[in-house]
Structure 1
Amino acid sequence: MTGFDQSERHIWAGRATAYARSYAALCAHPVPRLLDVAQVRPDVRVLDVGTGPGTVALAAATRGAAVTAVDAEPSMVELARGAAAAIDFQVATLPELPFGDGEFDSVTSNFVLNHVGRPRRAVAELRRVVRPDGWIALTIWPVPPAAGQDLLGRAIRAADAVRPAHLPAIAPEEDFPRDEEGLTDLLRSAGLRETMCETLRWDHRTTVEQWWSGPAAGVAFSGHLVQSQPTGTRSAIETHFRRFSEEFTDADGMLTLPHAALLAWGRR
Structure 2
Amino acid sequence: MVSAAQAREKYDQLVDRYEEIFFYVGTVGQRLVEFAAPAPGSRVLDVGAGRGAVTRAALGLGCSVTAVDASPKMIARLVEDHPEVTGVAMDAAHLDFADGAFDLAAAGFVVQVLDDPAAVLGEVHRVLRPGGIVALSLETQSVGRLGWFQDLTLEFFAPSTEAGPPPPADDSTEQTGPLTHDRLDALLADTGFADVERLSIEMPVPITDPPALWDWLLPRGLAEIHGTLPEDRRAEFHTRFLAGAQTMHDDGGITLDFAATLHRARRP
Normalising by structure 2, we get a TM-score of 0.78
Q: How does 1:1-268 map to 2 (within 5 A)?
A: 4-23=3-22, 25-143=23-141, 145-147=142-144, 153-162=150-159, 173=174, 175=176, 178-205=179-206, 207-208=212-213, 209-215=215-221, 226=225, 229-232=228-231, 241-246=241-246, 256-268=255-267
The CA distance in 1 between the partners of 2:227 and 2:174, in whole Å, is 27
Return the alpha-carbon distance in structure 2 between the equivalents of residues 93 and 241 of structure 1. 39
Amino acid at match of 1:196: E
Contact 2:32 2:136 in 1 (8 A): yes
Letter in 1 for 2:136: L
Aligned equivalents of 1:152, 1:9: Cα separation in 2? 29
Q: Which has the higher contact order (CA 8 A, sep 6+)?
A: 1
Residues 197-206 or 129-138, more deviating: 197-206
Deviations 1:151-185 (A, max 9, x none): 8655532423449xxxxxxxx95737733322211
Q: Cα 1:26–1:175, aligned 2, differ >3 Å: closer, same or farther?
A: same
Q: CA deviation at 1:95?
A: 0.6
Unpaired runs of 5+ residues, structure 2, are 161-172
Distance verdict in 2 for CA 1:228–1:12, change over 3 Å: farther
Alignment check: 8 A CA contact 1:94 1:116 kept = no
Partner amino acid, structure 2, of 1:57:
T
Conserved 8 A contact 1:137-1:266: yes
| Structure 1 CA distance for aligned equivalents of residues 42 and 126 of structure 2 | 17
Q: Could you list the per-position Cα deviations for residues 72-116 of structure 1 after superposition, in whole angstroms to 9, with x for gaps in the alignment?
A: 112211222232222122211121112111101001000101111
Q: Structure 1 stretches of 5 or more lacking a match?
A: 164-171, 219-225
2:20 maps to a residue whose letter is: R
Q: Which has the higher Rg, Structure 1 or Structure 2? A: 2
CA distance in 2, matches of 1:239, 1:54: 38
- The 1:158/1:192 distance shift into structure 2, 3 A limit, reads same
RMSD: 3.1
Residue type at the aligned position of 2:21: S
Q: 1:150 to 1:119 in 2, by over 3 A?
A: farther
User: In 1, Cα distance between the equivalents of 2:176 and 2:16?
Assistant: 30
Cα separation, 2, equivalents of 1:200 and 1:111: 13
After superposition, the Cα gap between the structure-2 partners of 1:210 and 1:3, relative to the gap in structure 1 and judged at 3 Å, is: closer
Q: Using a 3 Å threshold, how does the CA distance of structure 1 residues 260 and 117 change in structure 2: closer, same or farther?
A: same
Report if aligned partners of 1:177, 1:183 keep a CA contact under 8 Å in 2: no
Aligned pair count reads: 247
CA 1:177–1:13 in structure 2 vs 1: closer, same or farther (change >3 Å)? Answer: closer
Shift of 1:132: 0.5
Q: Answer yes or no: is the 8 Å Cα contact 1:39–1:135 preserved in 2.
A: no
Q: 1:155 to 1:29 in 2, by over 3 A?
A: farther
Tell me, in whole angstroms, the C-alpha distance in 2 between the residues paired with 1:149 and 1:130. Answer: 40
So what's the TM-score if we normalise by structure 1? 0.78
